Structure 1
């Protein structure tokens, strides 16, 4: 198995929204804001090369939205999904599976593009199966008023219309064992219903792709919960349970949204679970 970090494009989000009720005087220590109160955010996806399968976890925002739309998110840097794949010798047509942790636009937008005539949409990855789960798919296609702006139909419906949509199972507890993608999945419901956190066995180590359960290092303290989460008290409990498992089982945490910290480990302290070590992806994967 080989792993590759895929940079799908950096952007910025409001620091207050990213940290909910936590005062700026606290969160700006780890996530400094600019003059507009915006903090750096990454869209760091993960490519798994395993035998004849190439599995891409999440896809970033993509590039099909309007300039007005992107103006809200202050894109920065030179990363694109396609150029990052090309860096490692891959093309979108090579991807066999696209695993979507959830269907918010910054996680799935890069899966769908305009067709050549710009009359409709088509999958970027024409040879891939796209993985969601039935509960989250229903949640996203019949969105609540809180999340409606994050579930964009042009990102979601073309996946099903293509005939390439597949669903994982739903676990009886919180972890789905031995999924069809050969990694376990931790299910979390606080951010959005049935968000999926892959747990990948890599060279005898467990690498957890954290998606929005732990967006950045700054979100390690339990009360540091995003204002975007639909059920923040549930996030607090899920994060506590997950981080305790991560310490006790020596998991490595791949941070999708932290622009400056890529992979971390955590430890128990008197204040709760906190940062232990940080790793660059190129060091961890080599």
Structure 2
């Protein structure tokens, strides 16, 4: 197995929205805001090469929306999904599986592209199977008012219409919230941010790497109550995050950050103030 970081681009969001009840005087130290109160965020994906499989975890925002849509998110930087794939010797047609942690536009927008010649929306990965789960799919195609602006039908419905969509099995009531998958890694299900968000847990060179997605968007969000304002069930997030942080410290997990524009990987440590950041590093620094 080999893992590759896939940088798909950077964007900006309101810092207050990203930190909820935490005062700006605190979060501004780790995630400094600009004059519009916006903070820098990444859309970092992960590519897993495992035998004949090439699995992409999340896809970034994509490029099919109009200028008005993108103007709300202040995209910046030179990264793109295609450039990042090419850097490692791959292209979209090589991808066999696209695993989507959840179906918010900044995580799945790149899964679907607009074919101008046919005036048609189609999968951006023609040879790939798209993976989600039934509970989250139903939640996304019948969105609540709070998340409606994040679940865009043009990002979601073409997956099903193409016949390339498959559903992962959910843990049964009373079972462990971690399940294995046919993709060769385990998944941790969490419900605070959105219904049945899926966090991949990958064994790699003797270490467990957890793709923490929107449970812990950046290193600035590691403290327990630093929960983003977009979460639909913030108290559940706190409970889920507390359990995860304890497990991460006890088992020496390495966290992979999707939305931290600077830091790729990190470890945690226990302190007098609770569980905090230990070290940050990149794949090349740890795994060569």
Which stretches of structure 1, 4 residues or longer, exceed 4 Å deviation after superposition?
A: none
Cα drift, residue 118 of structure 1: 5.6
Normalised by the length of structure 1, the TM-score is 0.98
RMSD in angstroms over aligned alpha carbons?
Answer: 0.9
Distance in 2 between the 1:178 and 1:23 partners? 38
Specify the SS of the correspondent of 1:5.
strand
8 Å Cα contact 2:170-2:179 kept in structure 1: no
What does 1:108-147 align with in structure 2 at a 5 Å threshold?
A: 108-117=108-117, 119-147=119-147
- The aligned counterpart of 1:248 is 250
Size of the alignment, in residue pairs?
286
8 Å Cα contact 1:215-1:255 kept in structure 2: yes
- The aligned counterpart of 1:78 is 78
Specify the SS of the correspondent of 2:202.
strand
Cα drift, residue 177 of structure 1: 3.0
Distance in 1 between the 2:17 and 2:180 partners? 35
Structure 2 residue runs of 5 or longer lacking an equivalent are none
Distance in 1 between the 2:283 and 2:105 partners? 24
- The aligned counterpart of 1:192 is 194
Distance in 2 between the 1:75 and 1:281 partners? 25
Distance in 2 between the 1:93 and 1:50 partners? 16
8 Å Cα contact 1:262-1:280 kept in structure 2: yes
Structure 1 residue runs of 5 or longer lacking an equivalent are none
Q: 2:277 matched to 1:275?
A: yes
Distance in 2 between the 1:118 and 1:230 partners? 38
8 Å Cα contact 1:59-1:110 kept in structure 2: yes
Cα drift, residue 240 of structure 1: 0.5
Cα deviations across residues 145-164 of structure 1 (Å, max 9, x unaligned)?
00000000000000000000
Normalised by the length of structure 2, the TM-score is 0.98
Cα drift, residue 283 of structure 1: 1.9
- The aligned counterpart of 1:224 is 226
Cα deviations across residues 80-136 of structure 1 (Å, max 9, x unaligned)?
111110111101000000000000000000000001326220001000000000000
